Amino acid sequence: MKHTRGFSLLETLLYLGIFAIIGGSLFGILTNVVRISTQEISGDEVSSQLQFAMETVSRLVRESSAIETATTTTGTLKLRMNDPALDPTCVFVQNGVLKLSQGPDEFQKQNCASASTDLTTSKVIVDTAFFKRVEFSGGHDQVSVDLQFSNTATGPSKISRALRSGISRVSAATFDSDLLPNADDSYEVGFSGTKRWKNISLSNLLNLGIISADPFGIDGSIYYNSTSKSFRGKANGTWGDIGSSLWMATSTNSMYSNITGNVGIGNTNPGSSRLRVSHTQAGAWATLIENTVPNDSWGLTVRAGDSSTNAALSVMDRSSTNYYLYIRGDGNIGIGTTAPATKLVVRQSTNAFTGGLAIENVGGVRGLYVWVDGSNNGRIDSGSGGNAPLILNSGGGNVGIDASAPTQKLDVNGTAKATQINSGNYCDINGANCKTITAMAGGTPTIEYGPCYVYPQSYVNYYKVCEWRVCVGGTCSAWKTGNDRISTPNW
C-alpha cells in the first residue's frame, strides 16, 4: 500500500504568496485598463462638446449683422441678427453650463430673452468662456473666443481641454429693428478719433440734438438751440445761426428761411414776404428769370387776387416809397401812381413833355409825346423835342373833332379858327353845301359871318340859313349861304 503525503506548511505558504502576487498584478492591470478607458471616454466627450461649442459660436458670429460685445474680455457674447426672432443672440456660462439665448427679452427688447438652451451636457463642466471683440481698420470685426471644458471627475481622473480661436463676420452690419442705446446721452455713433463714417442715408427724419447753449463741438457740427429756437452750426471755430429753418444765414449771398417759412436770398429778414431777394452788387441783376429753351416763350406768371385796392405786381425804388409800376388786382395799370382809375394811367414826374408818354421809332427817336401841362391842358406833340408834322390817319380815313362819325378828312362839330386857310373845300356841319375856297394872298384869311334866318319847313322842322364870307387883307369873297335843319326855332 502506497503512502500519500500533503503539502507542508512551508509549501502552502509559498503557493499562497505566489497566487497573491499574480492576483494583485492582474487586478492592477485590470484597474488601469478600466481607468484609462474611462479617461479616454471622458476626454473624447470633453473634446467633442468643446468642438461643438466652438463651431456653434463660429456659425453664429458669421451669420450676425453686428457684434455688440465690448472690446474688453467678457463672459457674454452678444450678437445682432437679421432675423427679428433671433435678435439679439447671446452665448454665456451659467453654473458650469454653456448656454444660448436667442430673441428679444419680453420687457427689454435690446436684451436677450431669459429662456435659454444648453450647448453642453451634464457630462462636462465649462471652466471658462471668454469673448472679446477685435476691430480691424477697413475690415470686419472679429471675435476672440477662449473656451476651456473639463469632465466631472476629480483627482487624477480630471481631464481638461481648451480651445482658442478668432472668428470674423462675413457681411456688413444690417439691422431690421431699432438701434437704440440703453442709456441717454452716453454713447456715440461714428466718432472714434480720426475714424469717421463716410456717408449717411436716411429715408425719413434726422433728429438733431436739442441743446440750450452752444456745446464744445468741432467744425461742421450742427444742433438745434432750444433757447433761440434756431439751428446752429460751427464753422472756423465759431458757432453761428443757420436759421430757424434749414437754410444758411451766414452771409449776404446765402439763403435763409425763418420759422414761419418765409425765404430770404441775400437777406436774413424776409419779414412777411414769402420770398425776398436782396442784392448789393452794382451793375448786376438782383433777380434773373430766364428761359433757355429755343422758340419757347414761357417766362414769368404772377397769380394774384382781384382786389382793386391791392397790387398784383409792383416795381418801386429801393426806399419803397416811389412806385414805378403798379398793377392792381382788377387789371388797371399805374405808372407813377398806385391808384389807376382806368386800364392805364401815367402820372407825370414833371409838367413838361419829358414827364409824359413818349413813342419812339425803331431808331430810338421819340416822335410823339402825350402829356399834361401845368394848366391841366392835355397836349400831343410831334417831333423829338421840336416841331414836326402831326399826321393823323396816315393810311386814309376821316378825323372828327367832337364828331362821332366824321364824313370829311376833318370834321369839326363846333367853331373852327385858323390863321390861314389854303385852297380847298369847306362844308357845313352836316357835310353838305361844300364850297371851294381859293387861296388869297395879302394877309391872314378870316371868316366873317352875316345874318342868319330861320325858315319853317313844317310844324316841327325849321331851317337856319346863315351868310358868311372869307376876307384876306381887306378883300372879301362874295357872301355865301348855308342852311342847317333844326327841330325847334332858335333865334
The per-residue pLDDT for range 32-58, each reduced to its tens digit, is 666 666 666 667 788 888 888 888 888
- For residue 146 the three cell numbers come to 477662449
Question: Quick one: 79 and 90 in the same domain?
Answer: yes
Q: Kindly report which listed range (298-312, 428-442, 468-482) carries the lowest average pLDDT score.
A: 428-442
What local confidence, expressed as pLDDT, does residue 290 receive? 81
What local confidence, expressed as pLDDT, does residue 490 receive? 44
pLDDT top residue among 208 and 128: 128
Question: Quick one: 273 and 338 in the same domain?
Answer: no
- For residue 375 the three cell numbers come to 394848366
Using the structure block, give the residue that is written with the C-alpha cell 388797371.
332
Q: Is it the case that residue 483 has pLDDT exceeding 70? A: no
Closest CA to 323 of 143, 313, 483, 62: 313
Tell me the pLDDT of the chain averaged across its residues: 76
Question: Quick one: 225 and 260 in the same domain?
Answer: yes
What local confidence, expressed as pLDDT, does residue 288 receive? 81
pLDDT top residue among 326 and 410: 326
Question: Quick one: 337 and 478 in the same domain?
Answer: no
Domain that holds residue 411: 405-486
Q: Is it the case that residue 458 has pLDDT exceeding 60? A: no
What Å distances lie between residue 94 and 128, 230, 453, CA to CA?
11, 52, 141
- For residue 2 the three cell numbers come to 502506497
| 125 lies in some domain | yes
Question: Quick one: 17 and 109 in the same domain?
Answer: yes
| 247 lies in some domain | yes
| 331 lies in some domain | yes
Sort residue 451 into left (φ over 0), alpha (ψ -120 to 50) or beta.
beta
| 456 lies in some domain | yes
Question: Quick one: 161 and 246 in the same domain?
Answer: no
Question: Quick one: 113 and 63 in the same domain?
Answer: yes
Closest CA to 211 of 221, 226, 222: 226
Question: Quick one: 427 and 449 in the same domain?
Answer: yes
Per the CB < 8 A criterion, the answer to whether 164 and 146 are in contact is: yes
Listed residues 227, 261, 277: the one ending a domain: 277
Question: Quick one: 57 and 72 in the same domain?
Answer: yes
Listed residues 140, 168, 196: the one ending a domain: 168
| 354 lies in some domain | yes
| 197 lies in some domain | no
Q: Is it the case that residue 80 has pLDDT exceeding 80? A: yes
pLDDT top residue among 105 and 4: 105
Question: Quick one: 353 and 412 in the same domain?
Answer: no
First to last CA, the chain: 217
| Number of domain units in the chain | 5
Cis peptide before 156 (omega within 30 of 0): no
Other residues' Cβ atoms within 10 Å of the Cβ of residue 426? 17
Decide: pTM greater than 0.85: no
Question: Quick one: 15 and 128 in the same domain?
Answer: yes
| 195 lies in some domain | no
- For residue 27 the three cell numbers come to 487586478
What local confidence, expressed as pLDDT, does residue 2 receive? 57
| 93 lies in some domain | yes
What local confidence, expressed as pLDDT, does residue 57 receive? 87
Question: Quick one: 144 and 257 in the same domain?
Answer: no
